[in-house]
Structure 1
Amino acid sequence: MVRVATFFGMTFGAFLFWESMDKVHVWIALHQDEKQERMERELEIKKMQAELIAQAKESES
C-alpha cells in the first residue's frame, strides 16, 4: 500500500512539475515577444527621428 501511495504521489508531483514548467515556458515566450516588439518600435522611432533631422537640415539650407 505504501508503494502504491508513493507511486501516485510521485506521479502527481511530476504532473505538477511539468504543468508549472509549461506555464513558465509560456511566460518566457510572451516576455521575449514583448521585448522584441518594444525593440522594433524603438528602432522605428529612431528611423523617424533620423528622417526628421535630415529634413530639418535640408530646410535650413
Structure 2
Amino acid sequence: MATVNPIQVQKFLAGMHYPAKKDEIVKHAKSKGADYKVVQTLEQLPEESFQTPADVSKAIGQIE
C-alpha cells in the first residue's frame, strides 16, 4: 500500500501536542479534515508515543 508524503501529513497535525500516542494523532488529523489516505497511513503507525512531528514523519517513511 502506498503511503502519503510525510510533509503532506504534517498540515493535518498542526497544533498537535506532543508527546502523543497513535490514536491521538489519528483523531487530531481527522478533526483537521485529513482525507482517507492520510488517515489510513496514520493508522499504520506503530503503537507508541511520538515525541515530535519529526518522529511521526520518520515512522511514516518506514511504513511499507
Q: Is TM more than 0.5 here?
A: no
**TM, length-normalised to structure 1:** 0.22
**Larger fraction in helix:** 1
Which structure has more relative contact order (CA 8 Å, sep 6+)? It is 2
Structure label with greater radius of gyration: 1
Greater strand percent: which structure?
A: 2
